[in-house]
Amino acid sequence: MEILDTSVHPKEESVRILLKELEEHPILILTGPQGGGKTTLAIQLLSENVGAYFEGRARSAQPVVLIRKDLVEKMKNELFEKRKLPIFDGDEPVFVDVSLYDQIKLLVENIFDVMELGEPELIRQISLITKKMGVVPEAIELIASDQELVKRRLSRHLDAKRRLSILLEKEKKYGIESNLWSIQGAKVADIVNRDGVADYDEDQISRTIKDFDRIIPTNDLTVPDCIMKMMEISANENKESGFLVLHDNNKETVISDLVVGKSTNSLIGVTLLEIYVGFRQNRSLYRAYKHTKEGKLEVIHSYTPTLQEIEVLANPWIPPSDEPTTIMSSADVAAAERFDITISVIEADGKVESSSKKRKQELEEIIAGISEIEE
């Protein structure tokens, strides 16, 4: 796979490089970490020569698939299979023609969004389909330095509506088909007619810093310092807050700011991971996503009572009178498995739960030390 470092090339130069690749290869698949520039550069590449723009919609670094217009027309006329439908015309089953183009669209949705099999499998499956036409897709990984990636993720909401508006304008101008419903920070207002751009609703996760009430820098702060501040926010404001810790070589380092959610039910962990770490889909048993950091990642966040109460009310097997018995939600437990990370939750009074028993004991010792200092 080719690699393009977008942190060492100006945007205009990166566009020129990718345009040349698209001239030579009728299908271009852009992969890479969140913040690498896949969506931004792909929108810049759209012209009268491009027929389709597809992205995965899963929560991770979505691959971008660009197909030249000349190939789109050929693929629409090439039969992939006659697919049997679950309906009958009298006693006879009904079949529908599925073109190679239809199958490519289906692959992007099924492999990345439904089955979560990851970028390598998507590239492999698309290659198998286009091989019938003698076409070899070109996969290019867009990378950048860690500092540049975080910088871009922190600011991507600022021009999100502008970038999405440009995409919709080019779709109409050049007759490009796209499955993009949103980008981090903005969404298509009318996805049926592909018209208008809007902000995310207040209760939706935009995957940008707009999901947070505020950000508190953690320069030179230790894990105990951050926990102390987090407990203060829980006690005084009743808002969720949290930060990320990297465990490597028997050392723990705070690798994010301390972020404060907008309410007690803000699910800040998702956006924390996306902005400060970035995950790519890579299926392995129960784990669907993988980060590139060396070491073990941990999300430490405060208890979210509203979330727990909703979870109890939504479970038909729990008597209505019962209250939450744990401070870790099922979402926390599932995320620990899917992202292969440690998740620890701390209440305002110092109660701790963690997906790691060892880590729970360590945090209880830290909090005991904080209590002694305060006394």
pLDDT in tens, 71-123: 999 999 999 888 888 888 888 888 889 999 999 998 887 776 556 667 788 88
In sequence order, what DSSP letters do the residues of 257-281 get, joined into one string?
A: -EEEESSTT--HHHHHHHHHT--EE
Phi, psi of 281 (to 5 degrees): -70, 125
Residue 193's pLDDT is what? 93
Answer yes or no: is pLDDT of 324 > 90: no
- What separation in angstroms does the CA of 221 have from each of 197, 227, 252, 338, 369? 40, 10, 12, 29, 16
Which sign, positive or negative, has the C-alpha torsion 167, 173, 176, 178?
Answer: positive
- pTM given for the model: 0.83
Residue 168's nearest CA partner among 155, 187, 184 is: 187
pLDDT for residue 283: 56
Query: What mean pLDDT is predicted for residues 134-163?
Result: 92
Residue with tokens 């209250």: 323
Task: List residues bridging with 224 in a β-sheet.
Answer: none
First to last CA, the chain: 58
Determine whether 82 is exposed, middle or buried from the number of CB atoms within 10 Å of its CB (0-12, 13-18, 19+): exposed
pLDDT of residue 312: 47
Tell me the per-residue pLDDT of 100-109, one tens digit each, with 9 for 90 and over.
999 999 888 7
Give the amino acid at 71.
Answer: L
Q: What percent of the chain has pLDDT over 70?
A: 85
Per the prediction, the chain carries an average pLDDT of 85
In sequence order, what are the residues at sequence separation of 6 or more whose Cβ sits closer than 8 angstroms to the Cβ of residue 216? Answer: 229, 257, 258, 259, 260
**Residue 244 · residue 277 · CB < 8 Å:** yes
CB 211 within 8 A of CB 262: yes
